[in-house]
Amino acid sequence: ITHITHIPHITHIPHLRMAEFSGDTLRRKLMQLSCSQQSIQTLGLWLIHYRQHADAAVDVWLQQLQQTAPGDRLKFLFLANDVILQSRRKGPEL
């Protein structure tokens, strides 16, 4: 049996490193967003992780929503719903 002496933290694995928050990063992520559960939950968790940037995130979210064709807006509502539900489950520490 091999003994594992060090398991790297996720941020130390380059391809798994979480992107830093910026309006441009969020815009790019929103443009790549699909209606799949995995896509919605992944971006939702990213937004919750950067909750200290909530005001800027909402501004970008609203701009992107308004610039998106009406038939493609549902994914933005799914995302908002996911963030709200996940935040409520995580409790008052958020």
Q: Which bin fits 35, alpha (ψ -120 to 50), beta or left (φ > 0)?
A: alpha
Output DSSP code: residue 8. -
Q: Regarding predicted confidence, which is higher, 71 or 17?
A: 71
pLDDT tier, 91 (very low <50, low <70, confident <90, very high otherwise): low
The one-letter amino acid at 64: Q
Give the distance, in angstroms, between the CA of residue 60 and the centroid of all CA atoms in the same chain: 13
Q: Which residues contact 31 (CB under 8 A, 6 or more apart)?
A: 64
Condensed to tens digits (0 to 9), the pLDDT of residues 5-53 reads 444 444 444 444 578 899 999 999 999 999 999 999 999 999 999 999 9
Give mean pLDDT, residues 69-82.
96
- The pLDDT assigned to 19 comes to 80
Q: Could you give the CA distance from residue 94 to residue 12 in angstroms, rounded to a whole number?
A: 25
User: pLDDT category, 85, cuts 50, 70, 90?
Assistant: very high
